[in-house]
Structure 1
Amino acid sequence: MSAPLRTVVWSTGGVGSNAIAAIGRRSDLELVGVWVHSAEKAGRDAGELAGGNPIGVIATDDADALIALRPDCVVYAASGPERDGAAVPDYVRLLEAGINIVSTTSTALVYPPAFYSPEWRAQLELAAKSGNSSFYASGIFPGFGSDELALLLTTQSARITRVTATEIALNDHYPVADVMMDGMGFARPLDFTPMLQTPGFIEMAWKAPIHLIADGLGVEIERIHGTLDRRHTDRDIEVAFGTIPAGTCGAVRTRAAGVVGGRDVIVIEHIIRMARDTAPDWPASEFDATYRVDIDGDPDIHCAMNLGAAEGHGAGRAAMTATAMRVVNAIPYVVDAPAGLLSSLDLPVTLPRYAVG
């Protein structure tokens, strides 16, 4: 067996903590460093920061020190409302240093050709070329649930008229108030204008997976149009970020449709509730997170993937684990891939060869 791939995890949030734990269980990967944002976490054992036992790897906020370790790959899992703007300079530095990256941070890069900033994309392409390194972004939605699962199911199709990928989630566990309230409009009156309602925002948010599916199916997207629907709650709901008062938004539904031949052919829907009894007429699930793919054609295909236990309120942990493992399992494949910006179309199935046990 070849030497383990030297790996750094960038951030110790939910995804990063799962990545730290998973890497520690694998014989083909070696955790050599962990980056943290706050000075309070720097100097602490990474295993403890991830909610486990000490592992002898000390977290640092010194990016230069981590680059000097010359890791084979960085698992970049930082989060926040300015994640792309803050992450791109880090990506460039790492790629130029010859360090491969797998990321759950910049979901708009799940299909790099459709990335919303051509300037940033050009910077990343140049950095990867100069460093002979590769970059791959994935996750669960956007990611596997919104594109690769759909394409896998289409391998059974003789004819396709529409592909719809849908996430149905109970997100009462999500603690970031500004994202949930100002970004999505939860706990705000229905006449409040959240970031989601900014013209073009929904189209931009789902552009990458729509174009990834289109590329996989060999069709061209003519345009993308998006819609937003919100529903109020008739009672107060206590959630991780506070209280959602009765009469304010308790459920959000977005839809982005890629048009081919004048028809909505590739559709991404995202349904988020803060309680199961809000928006009862919308598609629902007994699970805290369900990812559906519905293919209209010959034959019609309907598939639901559920994370966590039914009624278990464990979707936050389950989704974090699934998101982290989408990129951790991809590390050996990305390290072996040709230099450049990759999507799931460029990699084989990223099998978890060290997960059994």
Structure 2
Amino acid sequence: MSKTSALRTVVWSTGGVGAIAIDAVTRRPDLELVGVWVHSEHKVGLDAGTLAGCQALGLTATDDAEALIALEPDCVVYAASGPERDAAAVPDYVRLLEAGINVVSTSSTALVYPPAYYSDESRGRLEAAAKAGSASFYVSGIFPGFASDQLALLLTTQSKRITCLTVTEIALNDHYPVADVMMDGMGFGRPLDFEPMLKTPGFIEMAWRAPIHLVADGLGVEVSEIRGSLDRRVTDTDIEVAFGTIPAGTCAAVRTRAAGVVNGREAIVLEHVIRMSRDVAPDWPASQFDATYRVDIAGEPDIHCAMTLGAAEGHGAGRAAMAATAMRVVNAIPFVVDAPPGLLSSLDIPNTLPRHAFG
């Protein structure tokens, strides 16, 4: 990478994370926004800055992937959501990598640690594409992402002995508007006899496999199995949320747990506690903030750390989490461009310290 040339950057999608990435890229002198991809036809031809909620940029959005590839950007910030997430995004990644374009993504969290990706075939395609294009690929976010890997691993640098490392996300998600994800995927607003996707056998183990194995790799241990569990609680009253009404007697709190077994003991544990109202499941871990990430290390010494995003009591935590997610990959762009070609995890690049954050 030239120290004087700005890295040519394309942002893929203008949703919550993508919009923040567009604004962030335009504010950095070491990055140059050269293109923006959109999924919706009604967004094509509109100013990218307007779509991102910032000042007009004089750059129009397009759904023409080949035109963006022809721009020969140094990196694509891939932030598509919904049906484009995870496995459905792999063909896009392959096309970009084969064209010699580095990719940073928030869309496929199962790839935060590529060696543990659940599809050997897809991982092989990505590896071959990165090799063919001499390009690098990196996925991050918050959870999975920073809280579940780099924050947790950083805290272990104080450890003499570790019995168990537990990372917990505690979230109030009444602001999340996507009904099918919340109701069919997680079971919110459904009676407890409804079986959401989360209850599919093996789903929790698969969903948290990558971050558990990333931590294990960082600490030099092997995970023999992952044990998953799901717990749900109902609300006594109707709750109005962004995706509709959660009727009394239906699920309003979900808790998942994935435990990586090391030497016969549950040693690397990821927990996810999501509520639609603070008064549901009062015996579960709680926080006055809407987004809290806890790292608890039992060992010598015991270590406890809590990271919060946004202000307390519902003031912008959702926006704060999206901003943190976006910046995990925007700040990584120079490091990923400089990295050797291939599929990367947070173990493979330096701390992605932000450049030009002050100002």
TM range (shorter): over 0.9
| Pairing partner for 2:166 from 150, 161, 164 | 164
What's the CA shift for 1:81?
4.3
Q: Any residues of structure 2 matched to 1:29-178 within 5 Å, and which?
A: 29-81=31-83, 83-178=85-180
SS in 1 for 2:154: helix
Q: Structure 1 CA distance, aligned partners of 2:84 and 2:206?
A: 15
Whole-Å separation in 1 of the counterparts to 2:247 and 2:310: 28
What are the superposed Cα offsets for residues 156-200 of structure 1, whole Å, 9 maximum, x if unpaired?
000001000000000011000000000000000011000000000
Asked if 2 retains the 8 angstrom alpha-carbon contact of 1:170 and 1:276, the reply is yes
Partner deviation per Cα, 1:58-87 (whole Å, 9 max, x = no partner): 100000000000000000000114522321
- Measured against aligned partners, the alpha-carbon deviations of 1:313-334 in whole angstroms (never above 9, x if no partner) come to 3111000000000000000000
Amino acid paired to 1:58: T
What is the letter of the counterpart of residue 82 of structure 2?
A: G
Describe the shift of the 1:303–1:206 C-alpha distance in structure 2 as closer, same or farther (beyond 3 A). Answer: same
Q: Which residue in the other structure is 2:307 paired with?
A: 305
Counterpart CA distance in 1 for 2:5 and 2:307 is: 35
CA distance in 2, matches of 1:43, 1:233: 45
Residues 279-304 of structure 1, C-alpha deviation per residue, up to 9 Å, x if partnerless?
Answer: 10000000000000000000000000
Aligned partner (choices 262, 265, 274) of residue 263 of structure 1 = 265
Which of 325, 328, 332 is equivalent to 2:327? Answer: 325
Give 2:55's aligned amino acid: N
Q: Counterpart of 1:210 in 2: which secondary structure?
A: helix
Q: Secondary structure at the match of 1:164?
A: strand
Unaligned runs of 5+ in 1: none
1:252 lines up with 2:249 in the alignment: no
**Aligned match for 1:282, one of 269, 281, 284:** 284
Residue number among 13, 16, 21 corresponding to 1:14 in the alignment: 16
Offset at 1:264?
0.3
Q: AA paired with 1:203?
A: E
Distance 2:200 2:95 in 1: 32
Indicate conservation of the 8 Å contact 1:81/1:179, yes or no. no
**Residue among 158, 172, 184 paired with 2:186:** 184
TM-superposed deviation, 1:52: 1.4
Number of residue pairs matched by the alignment: 357
Q: CA RMSD in A?
A: 0.7
Identify which of 198, 209, 212 aligns with 2:211.
209
Partner-residue secondary structure (3-state), 1:346? coil
1:71-118: per-residue Cα shift (whole Å, max 9, x none)?
000000001145223210000000000000000000000000000000
- 8 Å CA contact 1:293, 1:302 repeated in 2: yes
Distance 1:313 1:187 in 2: 24
Q: Which runs of 4+ in 1 moved over 2 A?
A: none
Q: Distance in 2 between matches of 1:45 and 1:126?
A: 35
Structure 2 counterpart of 1:133, one-letter code: A
Are 1:147 and 1:165, in contact at CA under 8 Å, matched by a contact in 2?
A: no
Query: SS of 2:319's equivalent?
Result: helix
**Residue type of the alignment partner of 1:47:** G
- Secondary structure class of the residue paired with 1:86: helix
**Matching of residue 234 in structure 1 with residue 250 in structure 2:** no
The structure 2 residue matched to 1:197, chosen from 184, 196, 199, is 199
Q: Distance in 1 between matches of 2:170 and 2:158?
A: 24
CA distance in 2, matches of 1:352, 1:83: 26
Distance 1:342 1:38 in 2: 30
Query: 2-side partners of 1:8 and 1:82: how far apart?
Result: 17
Q: Secondary structure at the match of 2:29?
A: coil
What secondary structure does 1:48 align onto?
helix
Paired AA for residue 123 in structure 1? R
Q: Counterpart of 1:344 in 2: which secondary structure?
A: coil
2 CA distance for matches of 1:197 and 1:78?
25
CA distance in 1 between partners of 2:154 and 2:58 (Å):
40
Please give the secondary structure, in 1, of the residue aligned with 2:76. Answer: strand
